[in-house]
Amino acid sequence: MNGQPELTVIMPVYNMEKYIAKALDQLAKQEDPNFKLLIVNDGSKDKTVEVAEQYRDKFRYFRILNKKNGGLSDARNVGMANVDTPYFTFHDGDDWVEPGYTAYFVRAFHDHPNVAMVSCGYFIDSPHRHNKVVGSPNDGVLSKLRTYGKMTNIFNSPVKGYTWNKGYKIAVVRKYHMTFVEGLAFMEDQIFNVHYIANTNGFYYNAVPLYHYWQREDSMVHHFNLKMVPDNVKANWYVWKTIFASLIEQKKEHKQDHTNQNLISEGNNNERKG
């Protein structure tokens, strides 16, 4: 595909020396290679950057941003601040994707120009389980209420609150000055997504799996620590507070629209009587 890239893939990395080669190998095999790859190195202490540099010639647009360690949310925020394409997505350094991954986001936004976010399906892979598809193979444009439901579903949702199976519009992020909350042990991605949906209208998803989520046994997410307890309470409070406020505001807007339509209708009737 020709022309300027429309999609940026943001890959925040920290000590991904053992995994990043597979991630980049698969990204280099995309059906649509016309995208920008932005690797944000969050102060890695291993050879992550050295491994990544070996792939520079395999991508049309390749950039590494080196920063001091500030955590995943900070790395994502730095990545978003450097996006100069209409659309972007996130890709974890220890995961990998199917060949149609980048093409999907651009095509989905083109096919559904009125939506603000698009989402694809995913696999869950682990040392003991491979290629488990999450959710049923369906798709559609959803209301805010149904979108929130699929984002917060802790069971078999093909959407959930992840960032790596979502496509975003950079114009939305800039308009609402959106950033990821820093200092949380987890759920910062769901908070961001709920905030994003609350400020926009239109969400499209297709559950066809294109992303492989690798559940590492040494991942911080799968090891309990005391910080997770208050962070879980804080994150869930923010998520549900945002959802309820959004739905209440939407109800008020619908009520006002209905009132305005009635006034217009009554005005037209009076004109006909006159």
Q: Which tens digits make up the pLDDT trace of 64-95? A: 999 999 999 999 999 999 999 999 999 999 99
SS (H, E, C) 218-247: CCHHHCCCCCHHHHHHHHHHHHHHHHHHHH
Segment 117-167, tens digit of pLDDT: 999 999 999 888 778 999 888 999 999 999 999 999 988 899 999 999 999
Residue 105 has which token pair? 């986001």
Q: Residue 263 and residue 155: Cα distance in Å, rounded? A: 45
Q: In 3D, which of 109, 238, 239, 98 has the Cα closest to residue 168?
A: 109
pLDDT tens digits, one per residue of 35-64: 999 999 999 999 999 999 999 999 999 999
Q: What is the pLDDT of residue 131?
A: 82
Please give the Cα distance from 151 to 159 (Å, whole number): 6
